[in-house]
Amino acid sequence: MNSVSADGATPAYFHCRDVHAYYGESYVLQGIECMVRETEIVALLGRNGAGKTSLLRTIARASHPAVKRGEIWLADHPLHKLQAHQAARLGVQLVPEDRRIIGGLTVEENLIVAQVAARPGWSIERIFEHFPRLAERRRQQATTMSGGEQQMLAVGRALARDLKLLLLDEPYEGLAPQAVREIEAILLEVKRLGITTIIVEQNAVAALELADRCIILETGCVAFSGTAHEVLTDAELRRNYLAL
């Protein structure tokens, strides 16, 4: 499906069209329309309960929320017709807020498991080259690492699979400022490598400083779509939708 991005010219790499989704009777996504260009970093922002995590889970084809209507496209692939494992094989990788590091396994074993029953992406050694901290801890039990190191592992695990669209839910949650800067550097490297990223983050300013564009949700609807610079420089917009 060939869509057109928000500037009216550049083809969209990822596109949601009129997406409606529910948790039971709760109407969490109410006609979402959004587009993302290839290699962009997009900050998906909004107040608590706006639908940000619900949208990430919907894109990744998680079983909840349930999509009742709408289309989700990655290039020419109709994600709305796929199950989660099928979307993952196409390169859609969700890094949830809890990171889901496998307890009892080492750092290296977590990366190896990520490639089981999945199309491989980066080799384990390539990941260690880009994440030297993980290389130092390759035989350490992964859940004993710091929060920042576990977040590095979660991103590295996504890269271990064939990765086209990276979905990050609160990657800076609970991290010290130095760890946040390290994760930002990694995400900029991911962008340089041509991987498209959508990031949900409560630290809106940090996300906007990293992102190319911003989508703001309010009660399950898109309230704003534009450049990250527009949001950073528009105090009224930040106050109305982000309470900043």
Query: Can you give the pLDDT at residue 164?
Result: 95
Task: Return the SS3 of 106.
Answer: strand
Contact predicate 208/228, CB 8 Å: yes
The region that residue 158 occupies, defined by phi over 0 for left and psi between -120 and 50 for alpha, beta otherwise, is: alpha
Residue 151 lies in a domain: yes
Count of structural domains within the chain:
1
Query: Can you give the pLDDT at residue 1?
Result: 54
N-to-C CA span, the chain: 37
Residue 6 lies in a domain: no
Query: Can you give the pLDDT at residue 158?
Result: 94
Residue 203 lies in a domain: yes
- Full domain range(s) for residue 165: 41-52+89-242
Query: Can you give the pLDDT at residue 174?
Result: 87
Residue 218 lies in a domain: yes
Beta bridge partners of 65: none
Beta bridge partners of 66: 22
Block mean pLDDT (10 aa), the chain, length 244: 54 94 96 96 96 98 95 97 94 93 96 88 93 96 95 94 95 89 89 93 94 97 97 94 86
Structure token digits, residue 85: 């494992």
Query: Can you give the pLDDT at residue 197?
Result: 97
Query: Can you give the pLDDT at residue 193?
Result: 87
Task: Return the SS3 of 76.
Answer: coil
- Side chain identity, residue 206: A
- Side chain identity, residue 3: S
Tokens 């994760």, located at residue: 183
Query: Can you give the pLDDT at residue 8?
Result: 52
Residue 225 lies in a domain: yes
Residue 237 lies in a domain: yes
The tally of CA atoms less than 13 A away on the side-chain side of residue 89 is 8
Query: Can you give the pLDDT at residue 32?
Result: 98
Q: How far is CA 169 from CA 44, 114, 120, 151, in A?
A: 9, 18, 23, 11
Q: How far is CA 223 from CA 4, 48, 66, 68, 130, in A?
A: 19, 14, 22, 21, 37
Query: Can you give the pLDDT at residue 4?
Result: 54
Contact predicate 48/204, CB 8 Å: no
Task: Choose among 184, 225, 231: nearest CA to 12.
Answer: 225
Report the CATH number that the domain containing residue 93 is assigned in CATH: 3.40.50.300
Residue 22 lies in a domain: no
Residue 16 lies in a domain: no
Length of the chain: 244
Model pTM above 0.95 = no
Query: Can you give the pLDDT at residue 74?
Result: 97
Buried b (16+ CB within 10 A) or exposed e, 130-161: bbebbeebbeebbeebeebbbbbbbbbbbbbb
Task: Choose among 124, 121, 122, 96: nearest CA to 110.
Answer: 124
